[in-house]
């Protein structure tokens, strides 16, 4: 039976050997050639037949010139990946021979390999609608991907110029963001695998991936994610209450149900946020795997990857306004070693104070400095102090230069980088003041007084008018408590100067007041993607809301004779409903003064009542 069912080792030949068939075709005799194409295109072709054909083609690759592109195309469409090991090995040998003898076929070979970087397409039609675009459940998917990478390495070994031909194909084949999560996941994972054996492509591949991630990120604002999660939670609670009313589930069913709920709770309700979450998880895993060898940090590999990531950051992240999550790859790699965090801060500082950079880039660099210093747990107080010294000294020099000039007035267009640096310093103080004062209150106060915030706040450039109100209000409360500077007189004056802007539209006149003239945002505001969040949270400083007691403490200035351990309890507890909090007046500030939107874990829009 086995003998009868197995195909013969030698298939029937019409017209002689393969070289003879090809030579006949060149002379115009196409019958045998057409029969050959038909046999190779047969969907029921057996493994032994494929092996025999490939063996003949391997020894005849010199005949497969550009004239036989169509035949090579048929060979590249052979279903070799899901065949026996013998077929796979023979096919890899054929690919090596083909590209080494006929480099004209290099691009089609690379396209064929890259096309296998995603799960195979299957079509499930309901009412003439395609409801699936990839076979997510194929058992041998991982093994097939391994084979694809072997094929790519084989081609690269025979043709050293492979990387320059491969990169455009990788860009061209990147799936659209509305493809299935599994398709995107597999493609990005395989792209990152390519960087391991073709290191010259790493920077370009990282740029490609980050560019696509940014498109996802800016398409899913935090407010949309919050709204989707809230809607999903409401529908889940409704379903749960309905089920509890109708069914009395058995214990084993409850366990099963709980498991399903927990896996569902890992998913993001917003479909694009779900895709972004999966891809960010892969990127974080890649960064960790590249930088660690046998569980230990390899400093040289980490430095090399850091340089590539900073280059990607400069090219793509820094010019992108209000991205929410993608920039966290820099936050993550900096958590590996303090030297990297300091290098990143130094890099941002150079961007900020270099007058040759565009103003918008300088302002964004200031936002990154403030947000990074405030949110990164792994940055020690000594580094925070060093950065504050740099920022504040530069601000004082800036004020010195402007006080005597014709531009010594409040104008975002003229002094954007200065206001961005002010906001970075204020924001850092809000989050870090307890650590700055910890241990030795007198010494800490002396340091804060040496920064001379009073001169910055009182200068004619008036930074309190430009910075985001939530930052200004908390900065004012803290500096008043420690008698560093009294901001409320200036805040009141600024409030009176705010002129509402009337905009006419189809729906009538709209009165608006600009509360963020700097158009600034905090790039390391709370991370909201559930899976990848687990990687960031251990290194992240969350905002702890204020209790009524904390607010009362903020209204009581520290006396000069206070003992060292009588520090304030700022950043503890929860925000009260009303006690001690004066809501921002609608005619002064909009309710969305937080940045970039109303964010959980960011400073609230409230301030201590004027004394």
Residue 162, classified by CB atoms within 10 Å of its CB into exposed (0-12), middle (13-18) or buried (19+), is buried
Domain count, the chain: 2
Q: How confident is the model at residue 277 (pLDDT cuts 50, 70, 90)?
A: very high
Residue 270 pLDDT exceeds 60: yes
User: Domain for residue 433, yes or no?
Assistant: yes
Residues 462 and 410: beta-carbon distance below 8 Å: yes
User: Domain for residue 436, yes or no?
Assistant: yes
Residues 407 and 387: beta-carbon distance below 8 Å: no
Q: How many CB atoms lie within 10 A of CB 604?
A: 17
Contacts of 269 (CB under 8 A, 6+ apart): 225, 228, 229, 231, 232
Q: How confident is the model at residue 259 (pLDDT cuts 50, 70, 90)?
A: very low
Q: Is the dihedral of CA 158, 163, 168, 171 positive or negative?
A: positive
User: Domain for residue 177, yes or no?
Assistant: no
User: Domain for residue 103, yes or no?
Assistant: yes
| DSSP per position, 111-138 | HHHHGGGSPPP---EETTEE---S-TT-
User: Domain for residue 258, yes or no?
Assistant: no
User: Domain for residue 268, yes or no?
Assistant: no
Q: What is the DSSP letter of 316?
A: I
Rounding to the nearest 10 degrees, give the CA dihedral for residues 323, 325, 329, 331.
90
Q: For 404-418, write each residue's pLDDT tens digit.
A: 667 778 778 888 899
Distance of alpha carbon 456 from alpha carbon 466, whole angstroms: 13
pTM of the model: 0.82
Q: Which residue has the higher pLDDT, 270 or 554?
A: 270
SS3 240: helix
Q: Which domain holds residue 55?
A: 8-121+140-161
Distance of alpha carbon 32 from alpha carbon 49, whole angstroms: 17
Distance of alpha carbon 25 from alpha carbon 22, whole angstroms: 5
Q: How confident is the model at residue 82 (pLDDT cuts 50, 70, 90)?
A: confident
Distance of alpha carbon 38 from alpha carbon 173, whole angstroms: 29
**Phi, psi (deg, nearest 5) at residue 487:** -95, -15
pLDDT at 337: 95
Report the DSSP beta bridge partners of residue 512.
501
User: Domain for residue 154, yes or no?
Assistant: yes
Q: For 417-439, write each residue's pLDDT tens digit.
A: 999 999 999 999 999 999 999 87
Q: How confident is the model at residue 508 (pLDDT cuts 50, 70, 90)?
A: low
Cα separations (Å) of 414 from 406, 411, 458?
A: 11, 5, 18
Residue 201 pLDDT exceeds 90: yes
Residue 549 pLDDT exceeds 80: no
Longest Cα–Cα distance of the chain, Å, equals 107
Which of 493, 520, 547 is the last residue before a domain boundary? 520
What number is the average pLDDT over the span 145-165? 94
């Amino acid at each position: 039976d086995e003998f009868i069912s197995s195909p013969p080792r030698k298939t029937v030949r019409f017209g002689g050997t393969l070289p003879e068939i090809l030579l006949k075709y060149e002379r115009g005799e196409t019958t045998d050639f057409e029969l050959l194409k038909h046999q190779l295109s047969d969907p029921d072709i057996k493994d032994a037949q494929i092996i025999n054909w490939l063996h003949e083609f391997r020894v005849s690759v010199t005949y497969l010139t550009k004239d036989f592109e169509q035949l090579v195309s048929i060979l590249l469409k052979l279903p070799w990946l899901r065949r026996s090991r013998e077929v796979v090995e023979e096919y890899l040998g054929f690919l090596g021979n083909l590209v080494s003898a006929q480099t004209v076929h290099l691009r089609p070979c690379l396209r064929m390999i890259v096309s296998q970087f995603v799960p195979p397409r299957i079509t499930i039609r309901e009412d003439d609608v395609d409801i699936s675009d990839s076979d997510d459940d194929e058992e041998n998917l991982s093994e097939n991907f391994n084979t694809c990478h072997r094929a790519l390495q084989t081609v690269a070994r025979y043709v050293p110029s492979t990387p320059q031909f491969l990169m455009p194909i990788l860009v061209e084949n990147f799936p659209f963001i509305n493809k299935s999560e599994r398709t995107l996941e597999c493609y990005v994972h395989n792209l990152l695998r390519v960087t391991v054996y073709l290191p010259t492509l790493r920077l370009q591949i990282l740029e490609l991936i980050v560019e696509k991630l940014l498109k996802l990120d800016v398409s899913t604002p935090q407010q949309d994610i919050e709204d989707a999660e809230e809607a999903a939670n409401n529908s889940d609670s409704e379903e749960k209450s309905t089920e509890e009313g109708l069914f009395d589930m058995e214990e084993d069913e409850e366990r099963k149900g709980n498991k399903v709920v927990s896996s569902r709770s890992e998913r993001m309700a917003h479909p694009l946020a779900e895709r972004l979450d999966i891809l960010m998880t892969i990127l974080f895993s890649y960064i960790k795997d590249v930088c660690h060898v046998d569980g230990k940090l390899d400093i040289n590999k980490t430095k090399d990857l850091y340089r590539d990531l900073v280059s990607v950051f400069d090219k793509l992240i820094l010019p992108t306004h209000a991205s929410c999550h993608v920039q966290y790859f820099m936050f993550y790699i900096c958590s590996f070693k303090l030297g990297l965090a300091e290098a990143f801060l130094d890099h941002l500082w150079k961007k900020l104070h270099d007058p040759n950079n565009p103003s918008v880039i300088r302002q964004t660099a200031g936002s990154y400095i403030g947000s990074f210093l405030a949110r990164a747990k792994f940055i020690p107080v000594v580094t925070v102090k060093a950065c504050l010294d740099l920022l504040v000294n530069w601000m004082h020099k800036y004020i010195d230069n402007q006080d005597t000039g014709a531009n010594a007035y409040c104008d975002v267009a003229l002094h954007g980088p200065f206001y961005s640096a002010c906001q970075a310093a204020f924001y850092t103080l809000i989050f870090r003041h307890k650590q700055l004062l910890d241990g030795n209150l007198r010494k800490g106060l002396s340091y804060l007084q040496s920064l001379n915030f009073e001169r910055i706040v009182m200068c004619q450039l008036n930074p309190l008018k430009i910075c985001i109100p939530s930052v200004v209000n908390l900065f004012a409360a803290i500096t008043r408590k420690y008698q560093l500077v009294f901001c409320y007189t200036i805040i009141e004056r600024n409030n009176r100067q705010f002129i509402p802007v009337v905009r006419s539209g189809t729906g009538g006149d709209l009165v608006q007041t600009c509360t963020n003239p700097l158009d600034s945002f905090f790039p390391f505001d709370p991370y909201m993607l559930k899976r990848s969040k687990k990687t960031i949270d251990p290194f992240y400083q969350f905002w702890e809301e204020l209790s009524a007691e904390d607010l009362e403490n903020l209204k009581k200035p520290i006396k000069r004779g206070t003992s060292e351990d009588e520090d304030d309890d700022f950043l503890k507890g929860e925000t009260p409903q009303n006690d001690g909090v004066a809501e921002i007046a609608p005619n002064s500030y909009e309710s969305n003064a937080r940045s970039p939107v109303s964010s959980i874990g960011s400073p609230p829009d409230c301030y201590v009542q004027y004394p």
